[in-house]
Amino acid sequence: RPPRPPPVLSTMAVWATRTSVALSVTAFVLLHVVAGLQLSQLLNDPFDLGFATMDPKTVGKSCTIFDISACSRNTVLWLLWIIQHSGMARPAVKDFIGITGIPEERGIYALSTLIVWTAWICLWKPVDTCNSWNPLQTPPIVLTVGVSVVVLGLLTMLSMTYTHPDHILGTSCDYNNPALEKRIYYHYPYNMVRHPASAGWLYFSWGIVILSRSKNHLLWALQWTLFIMCGTYLEEQDLHKEFGTSYGHYASQVPAFCPRPGYFIGERPKEPSAAM
């Protein structure tokens, strides 16, 4: 008996698939651009290209140790980020705006995230205008410790970005493919920490704080930390509802942010079928 031909997709389904891939690939490319802007901001525009900076580029005679208006402005930008990034990830919100289950869901979410992230970077205003970090003047010991923490964060994040681009951005249109069952990943980097992107960003953020010893970088890192902790709590609730005891089994073996020592000597979490 000859094999059955593959199902014929409707014109709308084909266009939805193509649109989804286009949105996600665009987001993947723009992610690198925005990440570059963020790094340039944190390093205070080291090449003097006129980009946004975390600290003032120059320190004048009349400066402010703590600018309340700048802090308020940065807090508003942070809240906008929370509303978009954490709000749009909630199932109830996705249902409300009508993107649940559609092929374009992940691409729309990713592009929205990049837009708000770019606004946060470009509209940031230094709180402390009396001090400015020059990376080239960082003491050797501080440089060694800070760079080590930053590299740990980058490796954790990049392992997530490049090994699971579809999971993050939906680049292959498999994110909402009904033929593919959603499952819990038990391989790298999810066998190291449950939230590798968040864990990596935490390491990276606090590594930058160690390097800069700047109030502006400290405020930025505190905002990210508070967002990640609250957002992770909400995400965990959604995952427990979606996967039930399977996620509880996984969470009991894999920490949220800090790898247990056993990971580095070859211990790996066991999937439910293998654990029984």
Nearest to 168 by CA among 15, 30, 271: 30
| Model pLDDT for residues 11-59, shown as the tens digit of each residue | 655 555 678 778 888 999 999 999 999 999 999 999 999 999 999 998 8
pLDDT at 172 over 90: no
In the block, residue with structure tokens 């205070």: 44
Q: Mean of the pLDDT values across residues 99-121?
A: 90
> Is pLDDT at 121 greater than 70 in this prediction?
yes
Cβ neighbours of 195 (radius 10 Å): 22
pLDDT at 44: 96
Choose among 184, 26, 176, 28: nearest CA to 100: 176
For tokens 């996600």, name the residue: 24
Query: What pLDDT does 276 receive?
Result: 42
Q: What contacts 98, CB < 8 A, 6 or more positions away?
A: none
* Arithmetic mean of pLDDT, 215-243: 94
Q: How many CA atoms lie within 13 A of 102 on its CB side?
A: 19
Contacts of 251 (CB under 8 A, 6+ apart): 194, 236
Q: Summarize the confidence of residues 57-68 as an average pLDDT.
A: 90
pLDDT digits (tens, 9 = 90+) for 181-210: 678 888 888 888 999 999 999 999 999 999
pLDDT value, residue 171: 63
Question: What dihedral do alpha carbons 19, 23, 24, 29 form, nearest 10°?
Answer: 140
